[in-house]
Structure 1
Amino acid sequence: MLAIPDPHVRGGVELRPLESCDAEALFLAIDANRAYLRRWLPWLDQTRSPSDVRAFIEQNVDARRDDRALQLGICVDGGLRGAIGIHLVDWNNRSTSIGYWLDASLRGQGIMTACCSHVVAHLFDKLDLHRIVIRCAVENHRSRAIPERLGFVQEGVLRDAEWLYDHFVNLATYSRLRTD
């Protein structure tokens, strides 16, 4: 089973694996941020109810059990307010990618940067990975600032790499190596 990072990120901020019982709270956080998140994330239209979120969580529980992926809830002052995912781990090449989102009302407080830094350290130090990738929509400047602050290197831009409801978006691709 994929190792879980230490839950404590900083005062009032914790990470924990998502479980089926989180479906309602996570759906409420998604729904409250739907318009904001829809600008950047392609899965909002398929997330219409707590049962949709529950199915996603259950798929990821299986992926964690099989050492393939891990979805963590971001808890701020005890409330589930976002998520950070360790996507499919390529154990042969010791690499993975991460993705994240956070309640819009919490922007600008360094919460997501702290969570990403925490997860990156875990992936390098505890899972002995060599390479981590973050992809962000080119126009999503707030999201792109996170890998830039954490010392990731922009490798390039993937043109029309993601279908976002009615149009393609370019994705900036960042990577960080254990040796960086």
Structure 2
Amino acid sequence: MQNNYFAAAPKYQEDSSNQQTNTEEQQIGKKAVFYYKMVAKTLGQYLSIYDGKTEYKMGVVMHQPAKPDHQGGFYVYDSLDQAIFADVPLKKDGLYFAPRTVIKCACWGDKIEYPNGKIAFEYLCPVQDMGMPKGYLATKAAMKEAYQLYSEKLKLKQGAGPKSLKKPTWKN
């Protein structure tokens, strides 16, 4: 379920004494905290990497009850680094190989914290596209391949590679 964020934004109501009083929306707004979520970014849309269908729109409040055992809620992380390096399970209809970005989200409501740092929230509202670090490789497979190539080059540079690839050593 999606609602326009601005329609649900905190509002003030004035009473007869001209003092501002809190509404329910304002109380929710006070409990919102910012978290980070890795998403696929394709054709200007922010989509779930996991299911490939859930769309995240800036300024739009989303609701899904947070349930134990990864059965519901919106999954986010405390830090940008955690979101960037989070494990996303490979799923047939997912967007595992799509270009990625991290979105900053206001999150509130019921929450469930998991040991790997993942947090499921009942409410989520994307507020900003944070982008990706310079040089980020889109998938863990690409990162692993790049690391292996780097390691091989480093070993060759240090003389630990196959004899045929080592620099010849000249003795006088």
TM-score over 0.5 for the pair: no
With the length of structure 2 as denominator, give the TM-score of the two structures.
0.25
